[in-house]
Chain A
Amino acid sequence: MKAITASALVLVILLGALFIYVAEDIPAFGDPNSPANRWVNLSISVDAGADVLTSLNDGVVPEVLAEKIKDRGFPLPPGYKVEEEEGGWNVLIPTGERLYHELQEYYFINREGDRLWVYRYSAPVRWQERCEEETGVPNMVTAGLADYRGYDTLGETTVIFTAGISVILLLRRRGKL
């Protein structure tokens, strides 16, 4: 056996243990009893004052809330709509997709006790729910790769293409190129 140094051995053992721990820690992908939660908590909260509630009920996000959402990096696009829902308000925002005009569900303002918490619609769950009806492809991975993240896969295919071309340039010395 080639004498590998003790430090290399220790390093491999530690990395192996880390690898096993991480591999076991990830919930199984298709595991029904560990579903990705639908609403991602943006940890923005405002106390539910009377004026805030009234403005929400007639369909306008109050200024103090809109301000907090904006400096979190999610500017609220104009033309949004607020819908009453059980236990909170759904904020639908226009997607700017000229082809699909209808508003997309994005924020959810939940009322817990006397505080209002803002949640965001998590993208993977949206994929899971809307993939069949939007793309008509049963295999969600293929739909995700080719359609939702089609630009990303285009880049990946270009990377493979350039890899092949560079191998052709490097290895073909016979001048026949």
Chain B
Amino acid sequence: MKHKPDVIINTIARLMVPFIQMYALYVMVGTEGAGGGFQGGVVFAASFVLFVTAFGITKGRSRLPESWNTALSSLGLYLYAGIGILCIILSLGIANYLNYGALPLAKLTGIAMTRGLVISFVVEVGIALTVMAIFASIFFDLAWKSEDEGGEQ
């Protein structure tokens, strides 16, 4: 049972997927409103789920290939843990792990602003990358086998 493309779902999905991803980016980076890296990543993965239900899994997999998927998931975690190590290295061992105030950026913008910037642009983005890649890869793995024989529900 091959995936039968349906015109209505395709146009709706083609219209909504970019806006869902834009919303996910807004949720992920903005520390004003509710939500942070985790919620942004899940919403981004949900946009891939919509893409797969509309255009079929093979097109979805070509959109987000496995190599990119696993690379992104480890990149996010690397970003988060890396910034922690960076704090120790750049402060020459003075600050302890994950103490963002010790980055040399603090000399430009002061400790409080540095911590704010690092939180909302490095840590949240790292979490969101990992969560997005992991949820997407779980969904692709779950839905993949059924595509060969069963077909998407």
Contacts and interface: CB of A to CB of B under 8 A. Distances in A.
Contact residue range for chain B?
A: 35 or more
Contact of A99 (B66, B94, B117): B94
Interface stretch (A15-23, A108-116, A164-172): A164-172
B130 A136 contact: no
A142 interface: yes
Task: Please classify the interface of chain A as helix (H, G, I), strand (E, B), loop, or mixed, using the class held by over half of its residues.
Answer: helix
A98 B101 CA distance: 11
A99 B119 contact: no
Contacts of A165: 73
A160 B36 contact: no
A154 B113 contact: no
A138 B73 contact: no
Interface string B104-146: 0000000111011101100110110011011101100110110
A161 B130 contact: yes
A164 B73 contact: yes
Given A98-B94, A154-B98, A157-B127, A163 B134 contact: yes
A135 B116 contact: yes
9 contacts: A97-B96, A137-B115, A146-B127, A151-B97, A161-B73, A163-B134, A164-B73, A167-B137, A167-B142
Given A97-B99, A164-B73, A167-B141, 7 more contacts: A97-B96, A98-B96, A134-B112, A137-B120, A146-B37, A150-B98, A157-B130
